[in-house]
Amino acid sequence: MAIAGITSASRTKNTLGHTSRGALVVVTTLFFMWGFCTVLNDALIPHLQSIFALSYLKASLIQLAFFGSYFLFAPAAGSLVERIGYQRTMVSGLVTMSLGALLFVPAALTALYGLFLAAQVVLAAGVTILQVAANPYVTILGPPETASSRLNLTQAFNTLGDTVAPYIGSIFLLGGAAAETAPYGGSALAAFRIRQAATVKVPYIAIAATLLFLAVAIALYKFPRLEVTQDFRPGDAGGSLHDSIWKHPHLWLGALAIFVYVGAEVSIGSFLAKYIAGPEIGNMSLQKATQLVTLYWAGMMLGRFVGSAIMQRIAANRLLTVAATGAGLMTLLSFFTLGHLAVWSILAVGLFNSIMFPTIFTLAVAELGSLTGRGSGLLVQAIVGGAVFPVLMGHLADIYGIHRALFLPFLCYLLIVYYGLRGWRIAATEVQSHISHME
What domains can you pick out in the chain, each with its CATH number?
Answer: 19-438 (1.20.1250.20)
pLDDT for 294 beyond 80: yes
pLDDT for 211 beyond 90: yes
Backbone angles phi, psi at 239, to 5 degrees: -105, 175
Residues 6+ apart with CB under 8 A from 105: 201, 204, 205
Q: Name the pLDDT band for 95 (thresholds 50, 70, 90).
A: very high
Among 12-26, 215-229, 278-292, 374-388, name the one with the lowest average pLDDT. Answer: 12-26
Question: Residue 416: its pLDDT value, please?
Answer: 97
389 neighbors 408 (Cβ within 8 angstroms) = yes
Question: Residue 146: its pLDDT value, please?
Answer: 66
Please state the pTM of the whole predicted model: 0.75
Q: Which residue has the higher pLDDT, 292 or 148?
A: 292
Number of H helices, E strands in the chain: 17, 0
436 neighbors 425 (Cβ within 8 angstroms) = yes
Q: Name the pLDDT band for 125 (thresholds 50, 70, 90).
A: very high
Question: What 3-state class would DSSP assign to 313?
Answer: coil
271 neighbors 286 (Cβ within 8 angstroms) = no
Among 96-100, 133-137, 228-232, name the one with the lowest average pLDDT. Answer: 228-232
Question: Residue 372: its pLDDT value, please?
Answer: 66
Q: Residue 330 corresponds to which amino acid?
A: M
Range among 14-23, 155-164, 218-227, 360-369 rated most confident: 155-164
Stretch 34-47: mean pLDDT: 89
pLDDT in tens, 410-425: 999 999 999 999 988 8
